[in-house]
Amino acid sequence: MKQRFYLYLLLFVLCGMGGGRLCAQELLTNVYGRHYVSLNGEWNVIVDLYGQGRRMQVYKNRKPTDNKQFYEYSFDRGLILNVPGDWNSQMPELKYYEGTVWYGRYFQRPANVEDERLYLYFGAVSYRCKVYLNGEEIASHEGGFTPFQVEVTDKLAEGDNFLALEVNNTRTVDAIPAMSFDWWNYGGITRDVMLVSVPQVHIADYFVQLDKYRKDVIHATVTLSEAKAHQTVQILIPELKVRTTLETDMNGVAQASIPVKKLQRWSPEMPKLYDVSVVSDQDRVDEKIGFRNLYVKGENIYLNGHPVFLRSISFHEEIPQRSGRAFSETDAVMLLSEAKALGANMIRLAHYPQNEYTVRLAEKMGFLLWEEIPIWQGIDFKNDATRLKAGNMIAEMVQRDKNRCALSFWGIANETATSEPRNEFLKYMKKRCVEIDSTRLIVAAFDLVFFDRQTQKFEMNDTITNILDVVAVNKYMGWYHDWPVSPDKAIWNVASGKPLIISEFGGEALYGKHGEAEKKSSWSEDYQAQLYKDNLKMFENIPNLRGTSPWILFDFRSPFRFHPNQGGEWNRKGLVSDQGQRKKAWYIMNEYYKQKRLEDLSNN
């Protein structure tokens, strides 16, 4: 119950800061395992360039009732956008738009739900939104990459109901991410919208996982929606012959440690998932869950009792071929299939929680996952409101994905400058994670490694690494940083005693551009390929290196890039072009990962 108390307290504080506005509510665990009606599809929209929609009460969708009335706006017979989807890629006029767009649609209250509770669930809306139902504001949310929900049981009318969202993606200094970030600022309702129905007393939350170290004990915690004692709850795992009955305490929480035999643990080589059911007197939620052991000992990361080298890759939640947000299972198949072909066993979901289709499919395909909140440069670490928002976002991320055994790392920051306010901010991020889930490894990525001329080694001085299980470093040798010594003599002394991941490295290349392998500004595949060879040579001199993650799998859109020689508006660091063509560096990493996989297999 501790984590639920903290989340309620945080929501109370955030609502108070918002002048009494209604906030989104605590998330149901596994919303896709519930009964729901999809509200995806075509929505009517109004582009509110000057921010006048609220003043004119757009959310009421009023219509003239006599010959003397008129309104200077209308959802009817106007613009249409697909949901889920970003607005930037659906209309050329909105490609660069940052501002407010109003979404509206009608829907019917489902039949035969008189005795159930109903929730509107939004997979993600970028970046801020207010939710209006039948002309009344019922919720608000900030954060473009995490889900939220609001109960509407007593707010739905029989027949038509009008749902409106005021969505704004304007960048601000107190946002997360803040003013400048190296990816496209997509706006809109970018993930699924659902009307979810559950029993009056339902299973609000559950956490089922294998013991951190033992392979024969599963720990389960189930929380009902009401604090009722002596309620019966069952955990069913038929394949393991588990049928365990639990009883709730006075807080409506039931816990048990369940002995199991002959359990096949999940791994990238064999991503086994079990059918798991959580059953109460009134409710049942079915789920597929994998079980694995994951921990750090010394400078090694252990998966199922064996040290593992993380053959990682990153990608943005973007389909480059259509220059738009990824949002469907089909999109997830495209992204993850290319990662699998590369030889990766881990995905760093950069730089924000990605959609649930990607997370669940990655687990089925055998990828470990690193998921993070976009605490990326430029964050106002002195701002208490920003800190609370970040804490809320990371809690929403952990709450959604804590039952995914593929989730191995909670990332709390990327490329942040050292300061005492930064340190306190990151400590708070870790605290928010472990209040809900203390079993994952906590990681952050830094770009603070420097070459010490006196010691002739790469060093890093940042005391915040003491709170981390694993330290990660972004270092672009040969691109943003010239080589101080030859790669074979580039010795590292960074985060000694802990596992180290090179979480970003690489350089830009335009697919099909060849020649001038020694010239950065050639944007050639040849320069990028040599850069990769040099970095792989350097990695041999990092004694505690336990993983690499090149930046990045695909070329991606970025307003940071203006040079016409590389196509403009694209970050060309991808191993694969925006049209899906593999560059020379892809084959270098593919061969490297083949060797690392064979080494792991031989050692285990």
For 214-241, write each residue's pLDDT tens digit. 999 999 999 999 999 999 999 999 999 9
Asked, for residue 143, whether it belongs to a domain, the answer is yes
pLDDT-derived band at 180 (thresholds 50, 70, 90) equals: confident
Mean pLDDT to the nearest integer, 202-221: 97
- What is the residue type of 326? A
Kindly state the percentage of the chain with pLDDT values over 70.
96
3-state secondary structure 507-567: CCCCCCCCCCCCCHHHCCHHHHHHHHHHHHHHHCCCCCEEEECCCCCECEECCCCCCHHHC
Do 463 and 509 form a contact (C-beta atoms < 8 A)?
A: no
**Binning pLDDT at 50, 70 and 90, where does residue 601 land?**
confident
Q: Which of 292, 313, 337 is the last residue of a domain?
A: 292
Mean pLDDT of 202-224: 97
Q: Burial level of 103, CB count in 10 A (0-12/13-18/19+)?
A: buried
Q: Provide mean pLDDT across the span 302-321.
A: 97
Residues 179 and 226 in one domain: no
* Nearest-angstrom CA–CA distance, 23 and 139: 5
**Average pLDDT of the chain to the nearest whole number:** 93
Are 557 and 442 found together in one domain?
yes
Which pLDDT does position 602 carry in this prediction?
82
Whether residue 376 has pLDDT greater than 90 = no
Question: Do 38 and 78 reside in the same domain of the chain?
Answer: yes
Structure tokens at 363: 């687990």
With respect to residue 499, please indicate whether it lies within any of the assigned structural domains: yes
- Does 204 fall in a domain? no
The enclosing domain of 260 has a CATH number of 2.60.40.10
Residues 151 and 79 in one domain: yes
Pair 66, 192 in one domain? yes
- 17: pLDDT strictly greater than 50: no
491 vs 248: CA distance, rounded Å: 56
Asked whether residue 36 carries a pLDDT value surpassing 90, the answer given is yes
Which residue among 199, 225, 258 closes a domain?
Answer: 199
Same-domain pairing of 266 and 301? no
Q: The domain spanning residue 127 has which CATH number?
A: 2.60.120.260
Are 285 and 300 contained in the same domain?
no
pLDDT at 21: 45
Across the range 45-73, mean pLDDT stands at 92
Work out how many domains the chain is built from and give that number: 3
Give the pLDDT mean for 539-544. 97
Name the band, by pLDDT with cuts 50, 70 and 90, for residue 9. very low
According to the model, what pLDDT value does residue 604 have?
74
One domain for residues 228 and 261: yes
What mean pLDDT do residues 312-322 have? Answer: 96
Model confidence pLDDT, tens digit, residues 445-466: 999 999 999 999 999 999 999 9
Residue 3 maps to a domain: no
State whether 522 and 554 are in the same domain: yes
- Residues 352 and 282 both lie in one domain: no
The tokens describing 29, both together, are: 């665990």
Q: What is the pLDDT of residues 439-450, one digit of tens each?
A: 999 999 999 999
Q: Which of 135, 166, 199 is the last residue of a domain?
A: 199
Residue 598, in any domain of the structure: yes
Q: What pLDDT is stored for residue 553 in this prediction?
A: 98
Q: 120 in a domain, yes or no? A: yes
pLDDT for 26 equals 83
316 located within any domain: yes
Q: d(Cα 49, Cα 300) in Å, to the nearest integer?
A: 53
pLDDT at 113: 85
b (16+ CB within 10 A) / e for 33-48: bbebeebbeebbbbbb
Please compute the mean of the pLDDT values over residues 340-349 and round it to a whole number. 98
Is residue 34 a contact partner of residue 196, using CB atoms and an 8 Å limit? Answer: yes
Cα separation, 369 vs 406, whole angstroms? 6
pTM of the entire predicted model: 0.94
Least confident of 188-192, 225-229, 599-603: 599-603
> Does some domain include residue 463?
yes
The whole domain housing 546 covers 296-603
Write down the pLDDT at residue 22: 54
Q: Does 279 share its domain with 308? A: no
Residues 72 and 178 in one domain: yes
